[in-house]
Amino acid sequence: MSQPIYPRTINRQQDVIREYGRILSAAVVSEHFRKLLLSNPNLAISAGFAGEMFQLNNEDRNRLTAIRATSLADFATQLNVAMKPAMAGYSAVSAG
């Protein structure tokens, strides 16, 4: 039985955006993490960075681990495209 789909809350959206930003930041500052993220995103996310784990639910993790890129710029571009449909369900008007 599938679970119902609820629109994301602004806090959840902000959390996801922050986590994706942390992942990209880690890839910028660490060549090792960047190479791992590009070659095996699931392992990179599972391993975390600098002793900290990334907080992603299965949907957000799957979105990120499905990306296949050869450069960090390409990875970031694909992540941005993949995030748009997920974030489209929320509007500031409906949050109030």
Residue 40: predicted pLDDT: 96
Q: What are phi and psi for residue 71, nearest 5 degrees?
A: -140, 160
- Of 43, 28, 32, 30, which Cα lies nearest the Cα of 75? 28
Taking only the tens place, the pLDDT of each residue in 7-63 is 455 687 888 899 999 999 999 999 999 999 999 999 999 999 999 999 999 999 999
In whole angstroms, what is the distance from residue 80 CA to residue 85 CA?
10
- Residue pointed to by tokens 């996801």: 16
In whole angstroms, what is the distance from residue 59 CA to residue 82 CA?
11
Predicted TM-score of the model (pTM)? 0.78
